[in-house]
Structure 1
Amino acid sequence: MIKRMIVPLILGIGGIAILVSLGTWQLRRLEWKQDVLSEIEARIAAPPVPFAQAEGPYAPVYATGILGGPELHVLVSRKQIGAGYRIIQALETEQGRIMVDRGFVPVAQVDTPRPTQTLTVTGNLHAPQDRNSSTPENDVEANIWFARDVTQMAEVLGTQPVLLIARSDTGQGVDPMPVATESIPNDHLQYAMTWFSLAVVWLGMTLYLLWRIRAKTV
């Protein structure tokens, strides 16, 4: 009986060890990711500087210029509100033309005229990672964008490939959607719980198999 139990016991202990180690590794990744998110949050909330002096993603900036002209409409959905569009426009500054993500308007208000205005926009520089394998290609002709592809948008609007995502109110019924860490995936805790759950299942299966072997030999 003992000889028949050796192989299942080795496989059981080995499998449990591997699954527990994977869960532990995910917990270490969770701690690392939380530190990264804390650093990003601190960077986002730092005092803004002129956009021409800022470097890197999430940099807090402000820019003054003439905001208006053609709009790009990026399709999004907001909880408890529904579908709508992000409004992307050019901001003409003394340092050149950049893009501003002004924020959200409902579908019914996307064609509402938004006159040109001179103002200071405060927000964060960002290169959004909106696109994944299931994201459709942007319909540039119909002005329906499914991702904020900065380079492509800059070519259409004739600006620098710089996107300032507003956290200040630019008025005219546009609700700012500031940069936040909520959009950054952090699933390590769920992954860890999955591995630990599989380890428990593996333990149960191993004990059941050993019990069956013992029962057949008694």
Structure 2
Amino acid sequence: MRRYLFPAILGIVGCAILIWLGLWQLDRMAWKHGMLDDIRQGIQDDPVPLPDQIDPSMKYLPVTVTGTTTGQEIDVLSQMRDQGAGYQVVSRFVTDDGRAILLDRGFIPQEARHLDRKPTRLRVTGNLHWPADVSSSTPAPNLDENIWFSRNVDAMAKHLDTLPVLVVASYVQGDAQGVMPMPVTVEGIPDNHLSYAIQWFMIAATWAVMTLALIWRIRQRSY
């Protein structure tokens, strides 16, 4: 029996760790679903006027802003379901109380990119947002062509001389100039915990089978 002890202990401990990791991922999944429900609720709450003091802790806060675009914009490479590739228009927007902010007005197809979008007065309902679009592989913006590959609030605010505040439009009153709102959703937030849990459980099952196979081989050699 002594020859079976070490592989048995190794198998039991390994399976226990792998199963624990799977259960931990299930706990993380429950936490993530609760967080997503809170975000959805926050997105759908009644909008409020743009606060005087704004910081990233207010992410997803529904707001209503009234003001005028200045004609200055950033075109962010994007795509929209049923529309294909195009751009998200991020405009410099001056509110009625004199604050210059970033307004993500929504999507335009490629052929509409060079249309002249002159200053226009808008009343916008949307959400404050600090998107996590930038990664280590994101190219730097092509400033000569005014094509950006991600929404970086600080960099866009510096480029358009605004406060580092981005409102993503969900509903626009006024001349939208052909720009289709792309409201904030939770679709882009990763939720892979179930697949991770399944992977850990499958590894645990494989570990158990390999342990039994090892014990069986030791047993065969003993005859």
Secondary structure of the residue aligned to 1:176 is: coil
Query: How far 1:78 sits from its partner (Å)?
Result: 3.2
**AA at the equivalent of 1:182:** E
Q: Identity of aligned pairs, percent?
A: 45
The equivalent residue for 1:84 is 86
Structure 2: gaps of 5 or more residues: none
Q: Return the alpha-carbon distance in structure 1 between the equivalents of residues 19 and 53 of structure 2.
A: 44
**AA at the equivalent of 1:155:** K
The equivalent residue for 2:77 is 75
Name whichever of 73-82 and 116-125 sits farther off. 73-82
**AA at the equivalent of 1:63:** V
The equivalent residue for 2:190 is 185
Secondary structure of the residue aligned to 2:91 is: strand
Does residue 50 of structure 1 match 2:55? no
Query: How far 1:205 sits from its partner (Å)?
Result: 0.8
Q: Return the alpha-carbon distance in structure 2 between the equivalents of residues 134 and 166 of structure 1.
A: 27
Counterparts of residues 151-162 of structure 1 (less than 5 Å): 151-162=154-165
- Is the contact made by 1:54 and 1:61 (CA closer than 8 Å) also made in structure 2? no
Cα deviation code 1:151-172 (max 9, x no counterpart):
1111111111110000014622
- Is the contact made by 1:68 and 1:114 (CA closer than 8 Å) also made in structure 2? no
Structure 1 segments (4+ residues) deviating >6 Å: none
Secondary structure of the residue aligned to 1:183 is: coil
Structure 1: gaps of 5 or more residues: none
1:176 counterpart (170, 173, 181):
181
Q: Return the alpha-carbon distance in structure 2 between the equivalents of residues 118 and 49 of structure 1.
A: 19
**AA at the equivalent of 1:123:** G
- Is the contact made by 1:66 and 1:91 (CA closer than 8 Å) also made in structure 2? yes
Counterparts of residues 121-160 of structure 1 (less than 5 Å): 121-160=124-163
The equivalent residue for 1:165 is 168
Secondary structure of the residue aligned to 2:68 is: strand
Query: How far 1:147 sits from its partner (Å)?
Result: 1.3
